[in-house]
Structure 1
Amino acid sequence: MDERFEIFLVATPGLEAPLAAEAAALGWQPVVGPGGVTITGGWADVWRANLWLRGATRVLVRVGSFRALHLAQLDKRARKFPWATVLRRDVPVRVETTCKASRIYHAGAATQRIERAIAEELGAPLAPDAALVVKVRIEDDLVTISLDTTGESLHKRGHKEAVAKAPMRETMAAMFLREMGFDGSQPVLDPMCGSGTFVIEAAEIAAGLAPGRSRSFGFQQLASFDAAAWETMRTAAAPRPAPAQFFGSDRDAGAIRMSLANAERAGVAGLTRFDCRAIGDLQRPDGPPGIVIVNPPYGARIGNKGPLFGLHAAMGAVFRERLQGWRMGIVTSEGGLAKATGLPLESGPVVAHGGLKVRLWQTGMV
């Protein structure tokens, strides 16, 4: 448990910076790179990263490396690798390999050599659908072996079952909230809430709830796993009191039913309120001003985006009239739609959202 190694936190492309800020707030010293953030730590850090990070999509552990100039050398050195220190012989694994700028250029052949070494030297079964993944990267003839300690993507918190169309992933929602300066103390309003992701994430942050509290992880199948120590970590943080100031609304009654059910499963039903109403019927919540954040329909999701300009103009007018003093955030792939609101929005970096490229457009106080 005292061993230290590089831990790579995979980010949604475009959200590396807020993930690094989140990691720093949790006590690590992050280094931002393409596709994610690197920290250094031991197995306890791996567990804590999976349990507590809201912006990472996966946590990879770099457990070793060696040089190999050809397949025979890869085979020999893979057989000498101490697989028993990280893998269990009773847990199925699969191997994924990428090759770049190396004399070993055939990823499939390299995968076969690594799989054979694991099967014959350790005795672990191989399975194409195994949840536990060994990731091998061969670049400039250096073979780096990593383990995916997460399993299912970290956006799957484990308590959200009902999902609306074109949902915002929880990891993205949390990072967009961070980009808007949300620290748990401000009210949050999403007037097109869908299945409630922004509202529920905000309420969980305010209550100090670990995002991974309701799910299992890949690291629980590794040789290093200590069930008693993990249970102590998982149950150590008690929820903190938080005000009931997280609001969602949507014109779709089905979306509101999903939001209510998801908030109940997440344990934040008492902190949230969801109402069925159109954007034109939006009411200013009681209490101090806070953050409005919305993921409205945009062209790539809808097809004919002509009517959406009117929707965004009306939305901007409602925000200006009824939510003075609130900060506004709009996630969209269409800059023209953001500008149609008439709000003084500034765009953030491009973020990959499925096959789309979106940005968070946000204001100061309106």
Structure 2
Amino acid sequence: MSVLFDIFLVVPPGLEAHLAEEARAGGFAVQSVDPGGVTVQGDWTEVWRANLQLRGATRVLVRLAEFRAMHLAQLDKRARRLAWSDWLRPGTPVEVEATCRKSKIYHNRAASERVQNAITEAIGSGDGDPELTVKLRIEDDMVTISLDSSGDALHRRGHKLRLNKAPMRENLAALFLRAAGFDGTMPLYDPMCGSGTFPIEAAEIAAGLYPGRSRAFAFQQLASYAPEAFERMKRRLAPVPPARFFGSDRDTGAVKMSQENAERAGVSHLAAFHHAAISDAKPPTDQPGLVIVNAPYGGRIGNKKPLFGLYGAFGQVMKERFQGWRVALITSDGGLAKASGLPFAPPGPVVDHGGIGIRLWQTKAL
């Protein structure tokens, strides 16, 4: 447990700074902010904690080794020197995924086979589907070998079994909430709630619920895993906030879906949902807070011309009824954002969401 690793927290490009902020706030030793992720340092317990506690990470990679290799024989030799049996249990099925760029070793499959053979020699071969993934990256002849400690992507938290079309992933929602200044102490309302991601995420943040509390992780198959210690890590007591996280949608099916998802997440007493069209949206509480929406956009539903009216109506309702509230809007189209007529500041960076570049637009208090 005392051996320190570089731990790479994967995140969609454009949101690295917000994940670094979350990691620092959580007490992780941030080493660098890199394209596509954040590097922290820690032992195996910090690997567990990153998977369990960080809301914004996509997955957690443990860097096992880094060295230079100019040809396959050199890769083979150095891979066999690694302490695989210290990390992996005997007979564990392992998959090696290789990527080669700008290197003398250019054949992904051949490179993968060399590392796979080194692992098999150290721990034997396991039957069945792979339980662990080792990621081999060779770039400019520099080899980086990492272990995926997460397994399924971390937005899959085990609570949202029903989804609407093009749902916002939970880790993206968490980072957009952080970017919008949400800290769990203010009311939040999503008038286009879909499957309820933003209100549910907000309620979990406020209640101090760890995002990974209900799911399994790949690191539980490692030699270093101690079940009792991890169970102790999962315990956390936090004050329960009053119900102040709200969502509405014009689709009654979406409202029912949100209610069910909140129930599975254990926050149905904190997040309330109701049926309403945008034109009927009203502040759900007297205390101003944050309105946040992942509104429909053209790249997601095809023809975007009818959406200009929707965005215009949204902006009008916000200006007329939500004085004192801040508005955060996520969309792929700056023209649609401007059609709302809201006084947005310059938008945040472009973030990939299912192959579509989206941005966060924010106002000050209206």
The answer to whether the superposition gives a TM-score over 0.5 is yes
Equivalent pair of 1:94/1:126 in contact (CA under 8 Å) = no
Match of 2:73 in 1: 72
Contact 2:333–2:358 (CA under 8 A) maintained in structure 1: yes
Give the match for residue 262 of structure 1. Answer: 261
Rounded Cα–Cα distance in structure 2 between residues aligned with 1:107 and 1:159: 36
CA distance in 2, matches of 1:131, 1:12: 24
Counterpart position of 2:338: 339
In the TM superposition, 1:118-157 aligns within 5 A as 118-125=119-126, 129-157=129-157
User: Residue 312 of structure 1 aligns with which residue?
Assistant: 311
Aligned partner letter, 2:252: A
Distance in 2 (CA, whole Å) between partners of 1:47 and 1:144 is 21
Q: Provide the TM-score with structure 1 as the length reference.
A: 0.97
Distance (Å, rounded) in 2 between the aligned partners of 1:47 and 1:274: 33
Cα distance in 2 for partners of 1:144, 1:302 equals 40
* Secondary structure of residue in 1 paired with 2:193: coil
Secondary structure at 1:193 match in 2: coil
Deviation at 1:277, TM superposition (A): 0.9
Cα distance in 1 for partners of 2:285, 2:134 equals 51
**2:134–2:147 contact (8 Å) kept in structure 1:** yes
Moved more, 139-148 or 107-116: 139-148
For residues 279 and 297 of structure 1, what CA distance do their matches in structure 2 show?
A: 13
Give % identity. 61
- Residues of 1 paired with 2:122 and 2:266: CA distance? 46
Shift of 1:240: 2.2
- 8 Å CA contact 2:29, 2:42 repeated in 1: no
Listed as ranges, the matches of 1:212-223 within 5 Å are: 212-223=212-223
Q: Aligned partners of 1:221 and 1:143: how far apart in 2?
A: 25
Q: Distance in 2 between matches of 1:316 and 1:139?
A: 47
Give, in whole Å, the separation in 1 of the partners of 2:249 and 2:123: 54
Say whether the 8 Å CA contact 2:16–2:37 is kept in structure 1: yes
**Partners of 2:104 and 2:304 in 1: how far apart?**
49
Q: Which residue of 1 aligns with 2:171?
A: 171
CA displacement at 1:74 relative to structure 2: 1.6
Residues 334-353 of structure 1 deviation map (CA, whole Å, 9 limit, x = unaligned): 10000000001121110100
Q: Name the counterpart of 2:245.
A: 246
Match runs of 1:43-62 below 5 Å: 43-62=44-63
How far off its partner does 1:126 sit?
Answer: 6.9
Matched, 1:35 2:28: no
- Which residue in 2 is equivalent to 1:290? 289
Cα distance in structure 2, aligned partners of 1:304 and 1:63: 48
Q: Which residue of 2 aligns with 1:299?
A: 298
Post-superposition shift, 1:239? 3.7
Q: How many residues align?
A: 364
**How far 1:84 sits from its partner (Å)?**
0.3
2:58 alignment partner, SS class: strand
Contact kept in structure 2, 1:115 and 1:126, CA below 8 Å: no
Q: Which residue of 2 aligns with 1:226?
A: 226
CA contact (8 A) 2:57 2:171 kept: yes
Structure 2, unmatched stretches of 5+, are none
Partner Cα distance (2:77, 2:180) in 1: 51
What residue ranges of structure 1 are gaps of 5+ in the alignment? none
Preserved CA contact (<8 Å) 2:187 2:285: no
Residue of structure 2 in register with 1:12 after alignment? 12
